[in-house]
């Protein structure tokens, strides 16, 4: 008896245990990123980002729409049934050699069951659906690709922004350590009567400012991590750690500035070209509206008639017919002509859109390239300034310790060093961002990256 109860408990527990196990496996495989690199964040985003998954669903919806439109080429089979009770049967008047007589037509009760199959043979709408299917599929895929490219760029910038802030936090920590030592030394000199309290107060003010900067950077880092989670579709309840490596950012700064612009590399241009092809087919469809519509049909009917309802379905009187239906549009006012003219105008408008997009792409590429070159120069200058300001600070620190330089001069050198370090990081982030902008403008970023 105990064995039966144990087996029964295990059986009941299986449905509760299995989902938890599967969920844990899914979480481990898909929802945890530890010491993640940029590539890992991008790959995670391409699999889990809601906008990308929505675009993929839109692709599936579009495929269903296409198949639904093309299903009109298949036979359309319908079944119908009816029952009629004639309270007053129809009467027909007969005239035979001048004598008039009246004849009651039909039965008191009638019923009909029919099965009919229709087949389109020639139809302008179905011809259009067949021609546009390829381009609609391409349009949905291009929309998904556009979302993926934007995701790659946004995730990369957010990732670099976090790395930059982490480096700023490290610089601030180093600055705080120096200021704490300087505050301690200044206070000791003040107590020893070597200096007045001005140096001590200045050190205290600088330390307070640096501590406030650290608090601000720390809080902003929380937001930036949350923003990166949002971009990649990461669970908000889970911790996200990234691989903090300043050298990895510096290794990504170089870009071939001699690349030639090809408009067809841009997804926006491809999308407009696809729209143009669809519009051309739409223009052709309006011209095809002059064609006749031809379809075939065949049906089979089961007729039942009887004066008594209880005996209605005792005997069947079947019938069947098949044939062709031809519909020729002869005159519809000027509607078809106006639709053709409208489609041709829309086609011309899309040609102008392509010209405008080419101009925009050219302008964006030049602006992005100019920004990249300027930021590259700023980064080189900032890197040199970091080295120079470090040398100046080291020199003045030695001279201050020997009593040659004042504390104010030391603080100025300290401020210059920290400013140059922050400027270097900002220049590095701006350079990486502008490189992404150039790649996006040239159309060289793909979702595979």
Please name the residue that has the structure tokens 């899914």.
26
Model confidence over 171-193: pLDDT tens digits?
999 999 988 888 888 778 777 77
Range of the domain at 378: 32-74+123-292+332-442
Per-residue model confidence (pLDDT) at position 12: 34
Last residue of a domain, one of 306, 327, 348: 327
Which of these ranges, 17-21, 164-168, 278-282, has the smallest mean pLDDT? 17-21
CA distance 134 to 139: 9
Is residue 341 domain-shared with residue 378, that is, in the same domain? yes
Q: What is the mean pLDDT of residues 291-310?
A: 92
Q: In CATH, what number is assigned to the domain containing residue 412? A: 1.20.1600.10
Regarding whether 215 and 136 lie in a shared domain, the answer is yes
**pLDDT at 391 > cutoff 50:** yes
**Which of 22-36, 197-211, 305-319, 349-363 has the highest mean predicted lDDT (pLDDT)?**
349-363
pLDDT recorded at residue 247: 67
Please state, rounded to an integer, the average pLDDT across all residues of the chain: 86
Contact predicate 438/261, CB 8 Å: no
Residues 370 and 410 in one domain: yes
pLDDT digits (tens, 9 = 90+) for 11-57: 333 333 333 333 333 333 455 677 888 889 999 999 999 999 999 99
Taking the C-alpha atoms of residue 107 and residue 84, their distance in angstroms, rounded to an integer, is 10
β-pair type (317-327, 293-306): antiparallel
Last residue of a domain, one of 283, 311, 327: 327
427 in the same domain as 355 = yes
In a domain, 19, yes or no: no
In this structure, the answer to whether residues 164 and 301 fall within a common structural domain is no
Q: Same domain for 321 and 415?
A: no
Whether 183 is in a domain gets the answer yes
- 68 and 101 share one domain: no
Cβ(225)–Cβ(244) below 8 Å: no
| Domain assignment present for 6 | no
pLDDT(143) > 90: yes
Q: Do 234 and 157 sit in the same domain of this protein? A: yes
Does the pLDDT of residue 245 top 70, yes or no?
no
CB 171 within 8 A of CB 246: no
| Section 302-328 average pLDDT | 91
Torsion angle of alpha carbons 258, 264, 270, 274, nearest 10°?
170
> Where are the alpha helices (H) located in 192-241, listed in sequence order?
197-232
Establish if 145 belongs to a structural domain.
yes
- Residue 227: which residues within 8 A CB-CB, separation 6 or more? 158
Provide the pLDDT for residue 372. 94
In a domain? residue 51? yes
Q: Do 349 and 419 belong to one domain? A: yes
Alpha-carbon gap, residue 155 to 447, rounded angstroms: 12
- The residue to which tokens 């200045």 are assigned: 202
Which pLDDT score, from 0 to 100, does residue 358 have?
94
Same domain, 95 and 153: no
Decide if 314 is inside a domain.
yes
User: What Rg do the C-alpha atoms of the chain give, in angstroms?
Assistant: 40
In this structure, is residue 282 part of a structural domain? yes
Task: Quote the CA–CA distance of 304 and 83 in Å, as a whole number.
Answer: 9
- Between 27 and 384, the more confident residue is 384
On whether both 398 and 380 belong to a single domain, the answer is yes
Torsion, CA 56, CA 60, CA 62, CA 64, rounded to 10:
-170
Domain count, the chain: 2
Report yes or no on 13 lying in a domain. Answer: no
Contacts of 33 (CB under 8 A, 6+ apart): 40, 41, 44, 234, 240, 241, 242
Quick one: 258 and 311 in the same domain? Answer: no
More confident residue, 291 or 279: 279
């Amino acid at each position: 008896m105990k064995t039966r109860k144990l087996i029964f408990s295990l059986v009941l527990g299986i449905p509760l245990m299995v989902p938890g196990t599967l969920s844990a496996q899914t979480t481990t495989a898909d929802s945890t990123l530890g010491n993640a690199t940029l590539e890992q964040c991008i790959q995670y985003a391409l699999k889990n980002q809601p906008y990308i998954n929505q675009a993929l669903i839109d692709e599936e919806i579009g495929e269903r729409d296409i198949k639904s439109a093309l299903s009109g080429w298949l036979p359309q089979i319908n079944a119908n049934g009816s029952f009629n009770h004639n309270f007053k049967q129809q009467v027909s008047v007969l005239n035979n050699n001048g004598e008039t007589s009246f004849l009651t037509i039909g039965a008191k009760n009638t019923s009909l069951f029919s099965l009919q199959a229709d087949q389109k043979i020639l139809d302008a709408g179905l011809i259009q659906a067949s021609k546009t299917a390829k381009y609609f599929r391409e349009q949905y895929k291009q929309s998904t690709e556009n979302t993926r490219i934007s995701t790659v760029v946004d995730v990369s910038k957010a990732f670099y922004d976090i790395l930059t802030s982490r480096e700023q936090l490290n610089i601030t920590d180093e600055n705080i350590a120096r200021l704490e030592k300087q505050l301690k030394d200044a206070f000791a000199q003040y107590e020893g009567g070597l200096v007045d309290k001005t140096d001590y107060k200045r050190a205290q003010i600088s330390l307070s400012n640096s501590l406030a900067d650290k608090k601000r950077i720390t809080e902003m880092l929380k937001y930036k991590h949350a923003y990166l989670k949002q971009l990649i579709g990461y669970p908000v309840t889970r911790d996200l750690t990234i691989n903090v490596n300043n050298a990895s950012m510096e290794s990504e700064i170089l870009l071939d500035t001699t690349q030639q612009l090809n408009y067809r590399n841009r997804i926006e241009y491809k999308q407009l070209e696809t729209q143009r092809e669809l519009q051309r087919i739409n223009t052709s469809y309006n011209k095809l509206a002059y064609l006749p519509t031809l379809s075939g049909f065949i049906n089979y009917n089961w007729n039942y008639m009887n004066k008594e309802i209880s005996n209605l379905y005792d005997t069947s009187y079947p019938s069947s017919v098949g044939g062709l239906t031809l519909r020729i549009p002869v005159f519809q006012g000027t509607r078809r002509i106006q639709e053709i003219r409208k489609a041709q105008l829309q086609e011309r408008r899309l040609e102008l859109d392509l010209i405008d997009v080419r101009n925009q792409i050219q302008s964006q590429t030049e602006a992005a390239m100019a920004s990249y070159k300027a930021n590259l120069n700023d980064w080189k200058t900032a890197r040199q300034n970091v080295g120079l300001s470090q040398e100046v600070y080291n020199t003045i620190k030695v001279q201050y310790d020997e009593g040659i330089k004042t504390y104010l001069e030391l603080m100025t050198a300290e401020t210059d060093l920290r400013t140059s370090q922050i400027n270097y990081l900002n220049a590095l982030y701006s350079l990486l961002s502008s490189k992404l902008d150039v790649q996006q403008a040239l159309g060289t970023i793909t979702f595979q990256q």
